[in-house]
Structure 1
């Protein structure tokens, strides 16, 4: 079977690509510059319907997620992807919301992508993770963890989240590419959802030392990550964590969970840390 994987050099796509290759599948990375990729690749431009359509045509499965960019740019990418899928009709499409919500009545890039794919006529499944555990490996988070035994992050102490890792998402994507019986949305994340204290306990168990969670002000978090992502990249992140301060929690619907639909459990924090070699 031939699978086309977007973002095969990045955090979301690379574990999907690796898992499919390990399983012996014919896998092609959809990248801008195939010569820079160590493996089978095809050149695609997210803004070019013909290049996307050529990559998708005849594929047994395609994994899609939007690259980082400004909203207008991402929306244009989403529209191009939807047109290409509609025209090419690959056998199966699995797309990730990348931690963002997909509404039925707004024009956010992820919503445009999800609505369009569902109307494309192809067999489609949408994976919906929440916050990624990999966020906890940012240098600005790791430094106080190492120096003070403090896991500092911009969430309230009582804010429960169905955290998951990129490895968990890859497990679900690979299953959905093969199992066409599940369509619609598949939520990915921990159930019961995790509090900050639960995250700290997972780190403590793995590291063999005391770790405590400390809620951080989103603006303070933003000041620390601005040197990493720039002011433009940081602003929406900070806005997102400010918004979370107004919400009760971020817990997935068990009825649409990977646990319920696919019998796939996400890794515990300590298991994830072992698997990524921390």
Structure 2
């Protein structure tokens, strides 16, 4: 019998690959959506639609009916609303008797609080999930390669020959693609025996920031340099594009990572891949697959 999975955030950059890979893996997929039009593609691909909102508990109760497993991710917000959303989703899954909830934190959450909202709010949701009694698997990804394909990143790379990012040149991280994150999610949903586990997940290479420029240079066959954006400048740029306080909070996140004695994002994945076997994508291959970097 096919397992039915409820997917949150299905129409976003992270959620889309999860839906696609779950359908390919043979799951019955139900999407929580607010806007039918944004989900029409997935409905035509065979997904079920449940209409609701993370802030509306009755709609979550309805969406969780007859669901076996849940994939949860939360919006990019920096207020206590994020915790309330997470609590609502967890409680609705509990009430429905869901057998496993996989939570993608969308960021590498430390074990202790940091004073950074982007980390601490997810930390609080993690704690609530662990204490709920609901079987769970928590996935904490490093930095997404897709950040390098953001609208504010592409012109610098393609027109100026510069990878510009708010990290020192020697800061190391195991960058991960959203497709690989989705593959980890599918593996987690397939393996409820791994319940009550937490995995820090990343890509196949530990790269210094300056190495990213070398990967682009090799993939695009031209000179690409690296520029470490000063954090204050980065904050101003993101606030100008997205609005305050988003840029301020995202900058606080990067400031925490780059000021640690050792990079928390430089991962050895051997033990993770034994339990969640995923074929990971090197950055050079990811660059080749992205249309926005085509010559």
Same fold (TM over 0.5): yes
Deviation string, structure 1 residues 33-88 (Cα, Å, up to 9, x no partner):
33542112101221222221222232122110111223211121122122212222
In structure 2, relative to structure 1, the CA distance for the partners of 1:256 and 1:79 (3 Å cut) is farther
Q: Secondary structure at the match of 2:226?
A: strand
Q: Distance in 1 between matches of 2:200 and 2:256?
A: 21
Q: Displacement of 1:112 after TM fit?
A: 2.4
Q: Distance in 2 between matches of 1:109 and 1:241?
A: 16
> Could you say which residue in structure 2 is the equivalent of 1:152?
164
> Could you say which residue in structure 1 is the equivalent of 2:245?
232
Query: Pick from 261, 275, 282: which aligns with 1:268?
Result: 282
Query: Pick from 28, 46, 63: which aligns with 2:54?
Result: 46
Q: Displacement of 1:172 after TM fit?
A: 0.5
> Could you say which residue in structure 1 is the equivalent of 2:104?
96
Q: Does the 8 A contact of 1:206 with 1:270 survive in 2?
A: yes
Q: Does the 8 A contact of 2:4 with 2:30 survive in 1?
A: yes
> Could you say which residue in structure 1 is the equivalent of 2:67?
59
Q: Does the 8 A contact of 1:85 with 1:120 survive in 2?
A: no
Are 2:141 and 1:125 equivalent residues in the alignment?
no
Q: Displacement of 1:272 after TM fit?
A: 1.4
Q: Does the 8 A contact of 1:186 with 1:256 survive in 2?
A: no
Q: Displacement of 1:153 after TM fit?
A: 0.8
Q: Displacement of 1:154 after TM fit?
A: 0.8
RMSD value, Cα: 2.2
Q: Displacement of 1:274 after TM fit?
A: 2.8
Q: Does the 8 A contact of 1:30 with 1:43 survive in 2?
A: yes
Q: Displacement of 1:191 after TM fit?
A: 4.9
**What is the TM-score with the length of structure 1 in the denominator?**
0.90
Q: Secondary structure at the match of 2:243?
A: helix
Q: Secondary structure at the match of 1:210?
A: coil
Give unpaired runs (5+ residues) of structure 2: none
